[in-house]
Amino acid sequence: MGKEQKRIAVYPGTFDPVTNGHLDVLQRACHLFDEVIVAIAVNANKYPIFSQTERKALVETNVRGLPNVKVEMFDGLTVNFAKKMRACAIIRGLRAVSDFEYEFQMAQMNRHLDEDIETIFLMPSQDHFYTSSKLIKSVSEFSVEDVAAFVPENVKKALRTHFAKARK
């Protein structure tokens, strides 16, 4: 009898910054897969405030207690990265109905590009349904304390530092 293949999933995103909602979805994925790779993406359309390396470091700090998680950086199509990592699934978080249409179209295109890689949609807990990185950044520009409940401590500090420098 052959050795069973490890079930690997890729959880892609810009993670600018990583939120408690992202981490909630990640913990859910960890229960479903042998390994979850958090894939820090380059996305020219999003104008990140943190570099890809900074985002990777912010995520790594928050996944230290999750033994089946790796954090990687990538550029290009998610489905190609997933194939390179020998993943069987791509994890996508759904917060609200408004996310569904975009995510559905992306999942269908990924299926077209590689039918062996499934897209799995996971919802965060109700505490994180309305949390988005874009919203976190918008509010943090004026008051990091107002978003403290929605981001890990290291992200709160990084946001405070970023916006303090931006004000100078």
Catalytic residue of the set 22, 56, 128, 137: 22
Known active-site residue 162: no
Known active-site residue 98: no
Q: What is the DSSP letter of 101?
A: H
Known active-site residue 134: no
Residues 6+ apart with CB under 8 A from 149: 20
CA distance 87 to 60: 20
Structural tokens at position 110: 């990924």
Q: What is the DSSP letter of 162?
A: H
Catalytic residue of the set 56, 133, 156, 162: 133
CA distance 18 to 15: 4
Catalytic residue of the set 6, 7, 46, 157: 46
Known active-site residue 95: yes
Catalytic residue of the set 28, 70, 83, 95: 95
Q: Catalytic site residues?
A: 22, 46, 95, 133
